[in-house]
Amino acid sequence: MIENHTKKHQMRQWGRTLKGENSWTMFKVISEFVEGFESLNEMGPCVSIFGSARTKPDHQYYKIAVDIARLLTEAGYGVITGGGPGIMEAGNKGAHLYGGRSVGLNINLPFEQGSNQYVDLDANLEFRYFFVRKVMFVKYAQAFVALPGGFGTMDELFEVLTLVQTKKITKVPIVLVGSEFWGGLKGWIKEVMLEQQHNVNPADLDLMPVVDKAEEVVNIIDTFYAEKGEELGPNYEL
CATH code (residue 124): 3.40.50.450
3-state SS track over 143-207 = EEEECCCCHHHHHHHHHHHHHHHCCCCCCCCEEEECHHHHHHHHHHHHHHHHHHCCCCCHHHHHH
In a domain, 72, yes or no: yes
Residue 203 sits in which domain range? 28-223
Q: Domain count of the chain?
A: 1
In a domain, 196, yes or no: yes
Q: What is the mean pLDDT of the chain?
A: 91
Asked which of 27-41, 89-103, 186-200 is least confident by mean pLDDT, the reply is 27-41
In a domain, 71, yes or no: yes
Q: What are phi and psi of 67, to 5 degrees?
A: -65, -40
In a domain, 168, yes or no: yes
Average pLDDT of the residues in 117-135: 93
Higher pLDDT, 225 or 111: 225
Model pLDDT, residue 143 = 96
Counts of helices then strands in the chain (DSSP H, E): 7, 7
Task: Grade residue 161 by pLDDT with cuts at 50, 70 and 90.
Answer: very high
Model pLDDT, residue 2 = 62
Model pLDDT, residue 43 = 87
Question: Edge to edge, what strands does the sheet with 78-81 contain?
Answer: 124-127, 102-107, 78-81, 46-50, 141-146, 174-177, 210-211
The strand pair at 141-146 and 124-127 is best described as: unpaired
Task: Grade residue 228 by pLDDT with cuts at 50, 70 and 90.
Answer: confident
Task: Grade residue 144 by pLDDT with cuts at 50, 70 and 90.
Answer: very high
Neighbours of 221 (CB within 10 A): 22
Count how many residues are written for the chain. 238
The answer to whether the Cα torsion of 73, 221, 142, 187 is positive or negative is negative
Rounded-to-integer distance, Cα 114 and Cα 92, Å: 13
* Of the candidates 85, 91, 96, the residue with the CA atom closest to the CA atom of residue 52: 85
Asked which of 83-87, 119-123, 224-228 is least confident by mean pLDDT, the reply is 224-228
Model pLDDT, residue 64 = 98
In a domain, 12, yes or no: no
Task: Grade residue 111 by pLDDT with cuts at 50, 70 and 90.
Answer: low
In a domain, 213, yes or no: yes
Instruction: Please state the pTM of the whole predicted model.
Output: 0.90
Rounded-to-integer distance, Cα 65 and Cα 50, Å: 10
198: phi > 0 → left, psi -120 to 50 → alpha, else beta; which? left
Average pLDDT of the residues in 75-91: 96
pLDDT in tens, 180-205: 999 999 999 999 999 999 999 999 99
76: phi > 0 → left, psi -120 to 50 → alpha, else beta; which? left
In a domain, 22, yes or no: no
Average pLDDT of the residues in 222-229: 89
Give 46's strand partners.
78, 141
In a domain, 10, yes or no: no
